[in-house]
Structure 1
Amino acid sequence: MAIQLSKGQRIDLTKNDPSLQKIMIGLGWDVKSFDGGQDFDLDASVFLLNEAGQCRNELDFIFYNNLQSSDGSVKHLGDNRTGEGDGDDEQITIDLARVPQDVHRIAITVTIHDAELRNQNFGQIANAFARLVNQDNDNEVLRFDLGEDFSIETAVVFCELYRHGTDWKFNAVGSGYQGGLAALVQAYGLSV
C-alpha cells in the first residue's frame, strides 16, 4: 500500500528501500468543469539542480522539447495535450543510480501552456497528484494529492527528489508560481 503524503512532508526513499533505483513519477490532473473557450494543455518539466539549486546548463531542463537528460538518467515519456482519462497524464522515469553526483535535487513541475494568453490558472485544475512507482516491481511507493489551494498560479512545483548524504528523499512541495514556465526557468538559473 502506498504512503499518502501531505504538502511539506518528506520521506526517505533509498534509506527505507536500498534496492529502489529505477522509479517512475506519474503526474495527473483534471480540468474543473469550466468553459473558457480553449482547451487546457498542462506540461510536466524536470529541472536537475546543483547544490545551489540551479541548473548546471540548459540540458538539465527536461520537457516536451528535450525528453531526456544528457546522461540518460531522467526521461520524460511524452506530452499529453488533453489530460483526459484516468490515471497518469504525464510520466517521468528516473534511474537514481545514474544521476550525476553534482545533481543534488530533481524538481518536478507542471505548467499551463499559454496560461496568460488563455486566461487559465491552477484554480481551474482539480485532482492534481504526483505518485512514485518502483519500476522493478511496479509497486506504488507513495502518492501526494496536491489539493485545490491554488487560484492565480500558472506553474506548480509538485515535488522534489533530493540527496541526503548517500540517500535520496522525496519532498511533497506543492508550491505555486505566477509567470508560468518562464518563471520556473529563471528561478532555476536559466535564460528564457
Structure 2
Amino acid sequence: MAINLSKGQKVDLTKTNPGLSKILVGLGWDTNKYDGGGQFDLDVSVFLLAASGKVEGEKNFVFYNNTSNENGSVVHTGDNRTGEGDGDDEQIKVELAAVPADVEKIAFAITIYDAETRNQNFGQVSNAYIRILNEASSEELIKFDLGEDFSIETGVVVGELYRHSGEWKFSAVGSGYKDGLGGLARDFGLN
C-alpha cells in the first residue's frame, strides 16, 4: 500500500523496498473549468543536482526538449500538452543504481508553459500530485497530493529524490515559484 505524504515529509524509498532498482515517477494534474480560454500546458522538468544544489550543465536538466540525462538513467517519457484524462499526465523513469555518483538529489518540478503570456497560474490547477511506482511491479509506493495552496505561482518543485547513507529517500517539497521554469532554472544554476 502506498504511503501518502504531507508537505515537508520525508520517507525511505530503497531501505523499505529492498531490491528496488527502477522506479516510475508519475505526475498528474487537472485544470479548473475556467482557464481564460487558452490552451493550458503543464510540463514536468527534472533537475539532477550535485552536492552544491546546482545542476552541472544542461545534460542534468531533463524536460520535454531533452528527454534523457547523459547516461540514460533518468528518462522523460514524453510531453502531454493537454493534461486530459485520468492517471499520470507525464512520467519519468529512473534507474536508481545508474544515476551518476555526482548527483545527490533529483528535483521534480511542474511548470506552466508560457504562463505569463496566457495569464495562467497554479491557482487554476487542481488535483496535482506526484507518485512513485516500482517499475517492475507497477506497485505504487509513495504519493504526495499537492493540495490547493498555490495562487499566483507558475512553477512548483513537487518533490525530491535524494541520497542518504547509500540509500534513496523521497521528500515531499511543494515549493512554489512565481517566475516558473525561468526561476527554477536560475535557482538550480542554469542560464
Normalised-by-shorter TM-score class: over 0.9
5+ residue gaps, structure 2:
none
**Structure 1 counterpart of 2:141:** 141
**How far has the Cα of 1:27 moved from its partner?**
0.2
**Structure 2 counterpart of 1:107:** 107
Query: After superposition, what is the alpha-carbon deviation per residue over 1:13-47, rounded to whole angstroms, capped at 9, x for unaligned?
Result: 11112211100000000001114020100000000
Q: Which runs of 4+ in 1 moved over 4 A?
A: none
5+ residue gaps, structure 1:
none
Query: After superposition, what is the alpha-carbon deviation per residue over 1:62-82, rounded to whole angstroms, capped at 9, x for unaligned?
Result: 000000011110000000000
**Structure 2 counterpart of 1:82:** 82
**Structure 2 counterpart of 1:32:** 32
**How far has the Cα of 1:136 moved from its partner?**
1.3
Q: Following the alignment from structure 1 to structure 2, what is the Cα–Cα distance between the partners of residues 138 and 115?
A: 33
Q: Give 3-state SS (helix, strand or coil) of 1:72's partner.
A: coil
**Structure 2 counterpart of 1:53:** 53
How many residues of Structure 1 are paired with residues of Structure 2 in the alignment? 191
**Structure 2 counterpart of 1:169:** 169
Q: Following the alignment from structure 1 to structure 2, what is the Cα–Cα distance between the partners of residues 95 and 8?
A: 24
The one-letter code matched in structure 1 to 2:60 is: D
Check whether the contact 2:35–2:124 (CA below 8 A) recurs between aligned residues. no
Query: After superposition, what is the alpha-carbon deviation per residue over 1:92-127, rounded to whole angstroms, capped at 9, x for unaligned?
Result: 000000001110000000100000110000010000
Check whether the contact 2:109–2:158 (CA below 8 A) recurs between aligned residues. yes
RMSD: 0.6
Instruction: Give % identity.
Output: 61
**Structure 2 counterpart of 1:43:** 43
Q: TM-score, normalised by structure 2?
A: 0.99
Q: TM-score, normalised by structure 1?
A: 0.98
Q: Following the alignment from structure 1 to structure 2, what is the Cα–Cα distance between the partners of residues 64 and 101?
A: 24
Q: Following the alignment from structure 1 to structure 2, what is the Cα–Cα distance between the partners of residues 147 and 37?
A: 24
Q: Following the alignment from structure 2 to structure 1, what is the Cα–Cα distance between the partners of residues 54 and 18?
A: 27
Q: Give 3-state SS (helix, strand or coil) of 1:44's partner.
A: strand
